Structure 1
Amino acid sequence: MTNKIKLVHGDGGVKTNELINRVFLKHYGNDEETPLCDSFVFTTNPSKLAYTTDSFVVQPLFFRGGDIGKLAVCGTLNDLTTAGAKPIYISASFIIEEGFDIDVLCKIAQSMGEVCKKNGVRIVTGDTKVVECGCADGVFVNTSGIGIVSKKFSPSQIEPDDEIIITGTIAEHGTAILLDRYDLAMETNVLSDCCALSHLITDLDRELPYIKLMKDPTRGGIATVLNEIATHVGNNVELIENRIPINPQVKAINNILGIDPLYLACEGRMILVVKSGFGSRILQGLKEICGYQDAQIIGHFTKDCQGLVYLQTDIGGKRLLPNLEGQTVPRIC
């Protein structure tokens, strides 16, 4: 591992994991038996609470379908959702570059407030720092959140034949960022999928006991997230190519750019690993919820124990999907 930070260290793949293990876990003294998840769950009688934090450096600050403020709040709410928690409070801290337009900052704050109001969450604390011109790229946002964990959600050991569901079409956030950042002259109505998923805890209340794991496929997309899960579990993941929902325009744009959409970020989708035999039932429940008509069962865990992820292709072959090694799109969130 190099002794200098590179952009690839922030992409959520192999280099990110190396950095976490070499620097943070080494010096934080983290209990090796405590899994490193998007949210930390702890008990305070009589409830379980989940706590999470995240920082946002997306470029551009405003993109088709969202902005850094909306992204920051949705990202934190979604991380709490992965823990089966209903969010209640969040914090919001800003690092702002001298000379940044206050009207633009107002738009960002307004966006954050609207998402909170819509999802019954309050921003209750925060902090603001201003740095000299040239020491930051406009504005960076940090949000932390706390939520109450549903008593019906209890992550359990993943086993062969457990099914994998994605709650909607993939790669739309990553594609939207590419289009706006590089001002690509393409006629398209593609928008970021950025949205809060916290209502899933209520909407899937009866199905939570059969959901073994929830994970939002942000940096590195669904391929990277499933590699992380497969490595941890030890079993292989088989994905079915023609079941993976993707907007035809997103697919075409990525084909033109030579980018694999399986590795592009989603900011409003959730991967659910569900108990074998309950996939169709949970999928039906999702499709009855507004906004989840494109949800699909996209694969399952196998009995093979290499911890690999592969794609069953449309032509009948198998394509290995390795963990993200190189850089895709930096500063995506």
Structure 2
Amino acid sequence: MTAETLLLDYGSGGRASQRLIAELFFKHFDNPYLTAMNDGAVLDIRGPVAMSTDSYTVDPLFFPGGDIGTLAVHGTVNDVAMMGARPAYLSCGFILEEGLPMETLERIVTSMGLAARESGVLIVTGDTKVVPRGCVDKIFINTTGVGEIIADPAPAGDKARPGDVILVSGTMGDHGLTILSHREGLSFATDVASDSAPLARMVERLTYETGSIHVLRDPTRGGLATTLNEIAAQSGMVFTIREEDIPVRESVRSGCSFLGLDPLYLANEGKLICILPADKAQQALEIMRQTQFGGDAAVIGQVLAPGDGPGKAGQVVMQTPLGGHRLLNMLEGEQLPRIC
């Protein structure tokens, strides 16, 4: 590719498109499924599958801890894993703005290839569209993931049961505050970085070694508070959590205090919520802490039947350090636009 910026011709389907595919995407996503150059891929999956799709429009494109490319891979890999599945394949669609520097595009594609290999998945099919300047802001990415379900039964949001324990795999709010601070040129006493990471291997260990997971979910947009509200509503249960047990980095806590934000509503891109029977909680906690991305895992609360404690069905009640209780509601409005 001789052009320094992306031209409309690269989306024409002709020679320029073929050069872009061969010299960029094949270079970094290389595998037999993709390089067969068919319009799709014939996949080798046995048994029930999980499938998820998402689109990524984060601003800025590059940030401490990752970029839009790693986010697109990790986000979809994690969504498939939360279904109790082992992610195997991704599709990838790009909508690119005319004039995007080729250096920027290659940097993103390079990081996507590395993230896919780290996650143990293959990018097997894709699509590229180049649109005139102003029709899209630099680059939008869609990824769809497919994986074989390994949990039996598969975890789901409506399966939380009274007596279950609620765990998180690490600190809350890292990604959301990183995006905001980098976007606005803010700096704090301690640097913050996105937690973007693949969680499939953690899920696989939890699935095989505990055998009793009721709910898995990654608290992305809307953060921990919103995600817990969604699950509580699906299950018709009351969730009680302890504020002092929720892990939050001091740099994130301080930054949120300065900006008037709540870390429990900020996006996370490399953390999960695990809800399972109380007799499996300690084992699950130890498994999380043994894995690469679970060192700060913690037990933060429990599931109650309506009427067995404060709150009504579908509500999340947080116990404060002073011993009081307050409702932790779902996010209203948008704290941070274009977070992922």
Indicate the TM-score class for this superposition, using the shorter chain for normalisation: 0.7 to 0.9
User: Which structure 1 residue ranges, 5 or more long, are not aligned?
Assistant: 1-43
Match of 2:297 in 1: 295
The Cα shift of 1:187 comes to 3.4
Counterpart code for 1:314? P
Q: Indicate conservation of the 8 Å contact 1:192/1:267, yes or no.
A: yes
State how many pairs are aligned.
290
Amino acid of the residue matched to residue 47 of structure 1?
A: G
**Matched residue of 1:168: which SS?**
coil
Q: How does 1:321-332 map to 2 (within 5 A)?
A: 321-332=328-339
1:275 partner amino acid: P
Structure 1 CA distance, aligned partners of 2:77 and 2:339?
A: 17
Q: Among residues 203, 219, 222, which one is paired with 2:221 in the alignment?
A: 219
Contact conserved, 2:207 with 2:213, CA < 8 A, in 1? no
CA RMSD between the two structures: 1.6
> Structure 2: how far apart are the matches of 1:237 and 1:322?
12
Whole-angstrom distance in 1 between the partners of 2:145 and 2:161: 31
1:312 counterpart residue number? 319
1:9-88 alignment runs, 5 A limit: 46-88=46-88
Q: What is the TM-score with the length of structure 1 in the denominator?
A: 0.84
Distance (Å, rounded) in 2 between the aligned partners of 1:202 and 1:307: 29
Matched residues in 1 for 2:83 and 2:201: separation? 13
The more displaced of 241-250 and 195-204 is 195-204
Distance 2:189 2:213 in 1: 39
Q: Which amino acid aligns with 2:247?
A: P
Give the secondary-structure state (helix, strand or coil) at the position aligned to 1:191: coil
1:152 deviation in Å? Answer: 4.1
Q: Unpaired segments of 5 or more residues in structure 2?
A: 1-43, 307-311
Amino acid at match of 1:191: A
Identity %: 43
Q: Normalised by the size of structure 2, how large is the TM-score?
A: 0.82
- CA offset at residue 276 of structure 1? 2.6
Q: Is the 8 A contact 1:93 1:141 kept in 2?
A: yes
Q: Aligned-pair distance for 1:121?
A: 1.1
Counterparts of 1:201 and 1:299, CA distance in 2: 20
User: CA offsets, 1:229-286, max 9 Å, x none?
Assistant: 1111111111101110010110000001000110000000000011132111211222
Asked if the contact 1:65–1:191 (Cα under 8 Å) also holds between the matched residues in 2, the reply is yes
Q: Residues 194-232 of structure 1: CA distance to partner in whole angstroms, max 9, x if unpaired?
A: 011111233224335211010000000000000001111
Q: Report the Cα distance in structure 2 between the residues aligned to 1:187 and 1:173, rounded to whole angstroms.
A: 17
Q: CA deviation at 1:154?
A: 2.8
- 2:286 maps to 284
Cα deviation code 1:70-129 (max 9, x no counterpart): 000000100010011111110111101111001100000000000111222111111111
CA distance in 2, matches of 1:251, 1:77: 28
Partner of 2:149: 149
Question: Deviation at 1:180?
Answer: 0.5
Which of the two has higher C-alpha Rg? 2
Residue 160 of structure 1: aligned partner: 162
Moved more, 275-284 or 168-177: 275-284
Pairs within 5 Å for 1:235-254: 235-254=237-256
Residue identity matched to 1:318: H
